[in-house]
Amino acid sequence: MAYKNYALVKSGFVFNLIVLDKPSEEDLETFRVENDADEIIEEAKGCTMGALWDGVKFTPPRPFDSWVLTADNEWEPPIPKPVPQTLEEFGYAYSWNESDLRWDRIN
């Protein structure tokens, strides 16, 4: 089996992800038309729903308004996520608080 990942794109946004086994060009075109997609991108590994397709690469959806896109095509918060400094801190999880622009400990 030669399964491949495909992204269905409309107006530059990924609205569906599918996995197909060796579809023909005709099958892909039929699938594109039936799903009202502008295009189907083959080998969409690592792509997520809502990602932006610029014709070259996928950009993941922006998680929060305050985050900025880096040169590595990754979203970065305005304040880095806390890094554990002690053994006790290694068990903590954090969640981004967009209202206060800070990381909140959630456990």
Which DSSP letter does residue 82 get?
A: P
pLDDT per residue over 47-78, tens digit each? 889 999 988 889 999 999 999 999 988 999 99
pTM to 2 decimal places: 0.69
pLDDT at 3: 86
List Cβ neighbours of 79 (8 Å cut-off, separation of 6 or more): 101, 102, 103
List 46's β-bridge partners, or say none. none
Question: Tokens at residue 29, please?
Answer: 């075109």
